Amino acid sequence: MQWSWGILIAVLLLATAVNCTRSPTQCAGMDGGCDTLAAYVFYVYRPPVCNVERGSMLFCYQFSGSALDAGPAGHNGTLIGTLDFQSGIDGAPSSSYRIAPGDVSSYMFIPDSAITGLGDFTLAFWARIENTGGQRHNFVNVSNTTSTSGEVLGMTYQSDLGRLKADLDPVLERITFNTTTPADQAWHHYAYSRENTILRLYFDGAFVAEVDAVATVLTSGPGNGAVLGQEADSCCAAGTFDGTQNMAGTIDNLVLYNQALGAYTIRSALHFAR
């Protein structure tokens, strides 16, 4: 009898892992009985992040010594300046991308084609910042150079304010979450989504904030720039950035989807993916 229960549990774990890895949004509403079981499955199974929801994936950067897109769309990034690869969230060497404090010449350019026309979305990544006092750690910043500090899409940890901030055009809508946890210089998971007229912010797999938004289509093109690692008021000549507003840290497993993934998917699939 004991052996039969063991087999049954193993089958349930496997079925949950296969189903949620194939299409995690199917599990988005399962925050009841399935939640604990599947979260445990993802913790043990840990699917590669670039295998999660590939049907809506716009890009997936694993930073394994390059800025190649491991997603289905082939939106390869371009690395400018110092190429500094560190051990990643999975502990493997040279599998995450670092921009040092004060570096104003290094960044990654993300193709505009990956952003233009974006409506609903989910942006998620792992990051480990370096504590530099009043630094504003710009992870991803899609600039609109027709207006100062006009983030079309962006996420920043403002260590001077102890605040995680995400922005969205066209009226500089903003969602924030007060936390000093990232200053511990450990790996943390960040995610941000827009579903029609709602912006949602997640930290370490947990839903932390929600605000109303304007349902619109994002644009990015010549004169604008999708930049990783710098605050791009004007884009994108190396050496012209603000050294107190760069990433000053390391990023891994950056992924963007053209739909708002459910809280369950973000918590259980992306947070545990490696």
Residue at 238 is within a domain: yes
Q: Model pTM greater than 0.95?
A: no
Structural domain that includes position 177: 54-260
Do the domain assignments include residue 35? no
Note whether residue 232 is domain-resident.
Answer: yes
Nearest to 75 by CA among 105, 117, 23, 129: 117
Q: To the nearest 10°, report the CA torsion of 15, 55, 96, 74.
A: 150
Judge whether 46 lies within some domain.
no
d(CA 151, CA 67): 22
pLDDT tens series, the chain, 274 aa: 445 544 544 454 445 444 444 443 444 333 333 455 555 555 566 678 888 889 999 999 999 999 999 999 999 999 999 999 999 988 889 999 999 999 999 999 888 888 878 889 999 999 999 987 788 999 988 765 544 455 668 899 999 999 999 988 655 578 899 999 999 999 999 999 999 888 999 999 889 999 987 777 776 555 566 789 988 766 677 677 888 889 999 999 999 999 998 887 888 777 766 6
CA distances from 97 to 4, 53, 108, 138 (A): 47, 23, 9, 14
**Chain centroid to CA 139:** 9
**DSSP three-state, residue 249:** strand
- We report the CATH number of the domain holding residue 232 as 2.60.120.200
Residue 274 lies in a domain: no
Cα distances (Å, whole numbers) of residue 241 to 39, 72, 73, 232: 40, 31, 29, 7
State the total domains in the chain.
1
In a domain, 194, yes or no: yes
| Residue type at position 271 | H
Q: Is 159 within the bounds of a domain?
A: yes
Q: Is residue 38 part of a domain?
A: no
Q: How many residues does the chain have?
A: 274
